[in-house]
A and B are shown apart, each in its own frame.
Chain A
Amino acid sequence: MKTRRSDGQKTNAAVGRSRTVRLVDIAHARSGDKGDTANIGLIALTPNYYPILVKQVTAARVARHFKGMITGPVERFELPNLHALNFLLHGALDGGGTISLKTDAQGKVFSTALLRMEIEVGK
C-alpha cells in the first residue's frame, strides 16, 4: 500500500526498503520531434540513478505510461556514457510537423510528461 508523505514522496509500506519518487526527482529530460515520432532524452541527475532508469524505465513501461497518447510502438536506446536513455515514441504527434493539430506538435513537452512516472528507489 502506498501512502503520500508530507514532502510529496510516497513510502512503500509493503516493501519497507524502498520509496516511490517521481522521475522528476532523479532525472531531467529534453524532447523534440522526428516527423510523427516524439524523441525523449532522459538523463539521470547523478550517475548512481542511471542503473535505476535502465532497470525501471523500460520501453514497455513508457508505452503504458503514454497509453492513449501514442498510436505506435516505443523504442529505447541506452547511453551509459551520458547516463541517459533515449526514447522514440512513434505515432505521438497527430501526423507531426505542419499536419498536426496538437499544441505540442513538435513533442517539446513529452519530456516532462515522462518525468511524471513513479519510480522505486532505495531508501
Chain B
Amino acid sequence: MDYLMMDYLAEVTMSILQKQKSRDPQRGYATDFVTQMERILPTVVERGIKVSANAGGVNPRACALAVAEVARKLGLAGKLTIGVVTGDDLLGRLDGLVARGHDLNNLDTGRPLHDVRDRVLSANAYLGAAPVVEALARGAQVVITGRVTDTGLTLGPLMHAFGWAPDAWDLIAAGTVAGHIIECGAQCSGGNCLRDWKTIPDMANVGYPIVEARADGTFDLVKHPKTGGRIDVASVTEQLVYEMGDPRAYLTPDGVADFTTIHLRQVSKDRVRVSGVRGKPATDKLKVSVAYFYGYKAVGTLVYAWPEALEKAKAADRILRQRLKDLRLKFEAIHTEFVGADATHGPLALQDVDVAAIPEVQLRVGVRARDEAPVDRFTREIAPLILNGPPSVTGFAGGRPKPEEIVAYWPALIDKRMVQPAVELIQA
C-alpha cells in the first residue's frame, strides 16, 4: 500500500463545520480523522504510506496541528511532515467577488446570490488535484485539505507517483475515473450492489477497494484477500453510473472524463481491469458550493395496523391536513407518505398489491416553512391523532417531533483564476 485516500466531506458537512468554527476557532474539521490517524499513524510512518484526506473541512490548519500533536504523543516527533491545502474558503471574499462581477448565480435556478446573501453560512470552491500534487512533491506524507474534490484526492497521488502532466487529459481522466470508483468506499466492492446481492459474501468484513495503478493510465480494482464483498464488472459498473450525470462530460477541476470510453474486464476473482479512458481539457471554471439558512422542517409519524391499515393512515392524513388548514398554518410544503405502501416507489408500488391485506402502514407527514412557528405548531398535532383519529394506531413512543433547521445549497461557478490554492508544510 503506497497511498491511502479518505473522503470526509458531504455538502452538509461544510456548513456544520463552519458552525463549529464560529463557536471555537480551533474547530471546524473532521475530528474523527484525528482519532483514525492516532490508530494508524505508527503503521503509516513505519511503511512510508502517504495519506490524502479532505478532513480539514473549513479549518485544515487546525486539523493538521491536531494530527501533529497526536504524532508527537505517539513518539513520532520529527518523523512526519503534514501538508495543508487551503484557498477553497470563499466565505470572507463573497462580497468582494460579487462586487468585481463574479455574480455566483445559482447554477440550477439562475437566481442571483443576493437572494440569500444575508443567510450564507459557508462558501467553498472545489479545488482539484494540483495542490495535493504540490504538497506531495514538497515532501508531505499526510496531506490534509479543505474542499478538494473526492476524485482529486485519488488523482493527486497518481499524478505525483507517475509524473503525469496536468494537461495529459487521458491520464487525468483515468485517474479521475479511479477516484470516482473508490470515492464511496465499499460501494464498488459489493456494498449497495443490486446484482446478485444475496450471494455477495461476508459483508460484515467487506473489503475496501484498492487501485493498482500503472503509469499508462490503466488500473486494476482489487481488495485485500480474506475480506468480504465482491469486485466484479457488475459491482464496478453500478458505482460508475452512480451520480454520474452526462457520461460524456464528467466535469472536475482537473479535466473532463468521458465515461463512454471506459473499458472494464474481469481479470480474475475480485480483480477488474479498467482501461481505455479518454479525457478532454478542463474548463476555466470551478464549482462553488454555498450553504445558506433556508427555513424549518419537521416530520411526524404514526403506525396503523391491519385490518385496512392503509385506509386508516389515509383517513388520519386527511384529518391532520384539515386541522392544519383550520389552524391557518402557512407551509411551503406538506408531504405525506405511507411507509409500507408508497413511500419509496409512489403510485408504481401499489399496482399489483391487495391494498386491504397490507399488514401495517406508517403514516409519515412532513412540513416545511420559512418560519419556525407553523412547523412547531405542526409537531403538536400528531399525538392527538392517537386518541382523536382512526383506530389501531401506535408507534408514538419517540414523542413529539422536533422542528429542524434546513441548511440548503447554492451551486455556482467561479473563474478558476479567482481561486489560488495554497500549500503549507507542518512538521510533527
Contacts and interface: CB of A to CB of B under 8 A. Distances in A.
Interface of A: 28-36, 39, 41-43, 45, 65-66, 68-69, 77-82, 84, 86, 88, 94-95, 97-99, 101-104, 109, 111-113, 116
27 contacts: A28-B238, A29-B194, A30-B194, A30-B241, A31-B242, A32-B243, A39-B241, A39-B242, A41-B237, A41-B242, A41-B244, A66-B346, A77-B246, A77-B247, A79-B241, A80-B260, A81-B261, A82-B237, A86-B244, A95-B408, A97-B409, A98-B12, A99-B368, A99-B406, A101-B366, A103-B343, A112-B194
B243 A34 contact: yes
A64 to B, nearest CB: 11
B348 A116 contact: yes
A32 B406 CA distance: 20
B408 A97 contact: yes
The 10 A-B residue pairs with the shortest CB-CB distance, nearest first, are: A41-B241, A101-B366, A101-B335, A32-B243, A28-B195, A30-B238, A113-B345, A69-B346, A109-B344, A28-B194
Interface of B: 11-12, 108, 192, 194-195, 234, 237-248, 259-264, 276, 294, 297, 299, 333, 335, 337, 339, 343-349, 351, 364, 366-368, 406-409, 411
Contact of B347 (A28, A68, A84, A112): A68
A41 B193 CA distance: 12
Given A28-B234, A94-B335, A112-B194, 5 more contacts: A30-B192, A30-B241, A34-B243, A98-B406, A103-B364
Contact of A104 (B237, B259, B344, B411): B344
Contacts of B264: 82
Contacts of A82: 237, 240-241, 259, 262, 264
Nearest to B262: A81
Contacts of A45: 195
A117 B192 CA distance: 21
Q: Most chain-B CB neighbours within 10 Å: which of A42, A77, A88? A: A77
Contacts of B247: 77, 79, 86
A34 B244 CA distance: 9
Q: Which of B194, B238, B241, B245 gathers most chain A CB within 10 Å?
A: B241
B261 A109 contact: no
Contacts of B241: 30, 39, 41-43, 79, 82, 84, 86
Contacts of A65: 348
Contacts of B234: 28, 43
Contacts of B368: 99, 101
B385 to A, nearest CB: 18
Contacts, number: 127
B178 to A, nearest CB: 16
B108 A103 contact: no
A84 B237 contact: yes
A37 B347 CA distance: 19
A30 B195 CA distance: 10
A79 B345 contact: no
A112 B409 CA distance: 27
Contacts of B260: 78-81
A79 B261 CA distance: 8
Nearest to B344: A109
Contacts of B194: 28-30, 111-112
B406 A113 contact: no
Contacts of A66: 346, 348
Given A29-B194, A82-B262, A103-B344, A43 B409 contact: no
Contacts of B349: 113
Contacts of B343: 103-104
Contacts of A111: 194
A35 B245 contact: no
Contacts of A35: 108, 409, 411
A65 B337 CA distance: 19
A29 B195 CA distance: 8
Which among B195, B264, B411 has the greatest number of chain A C-beta atoms within 10 A?
B195
Given A77-B248, A79-B247, A81-B260, A98 B407 contact: yes
Nearest to A104: B344
A118 to B, nearest CB: 10
B363 to A, nearest CB: 12
B47 to A, nearest CB: 34
A65 B349 CA distance: 12
B347 A69 contact: yes
Contacts of A34: 243, 245
Contacts of A68: 346-347
Given A94-B335, A101-B367, A41 B344 contact: no
Contacts of B335: 94, 101-102
Chain B CB within 10 Å, residue with most, of A31, A42, A82, A94: A82
A78 B246 CA distance: 9
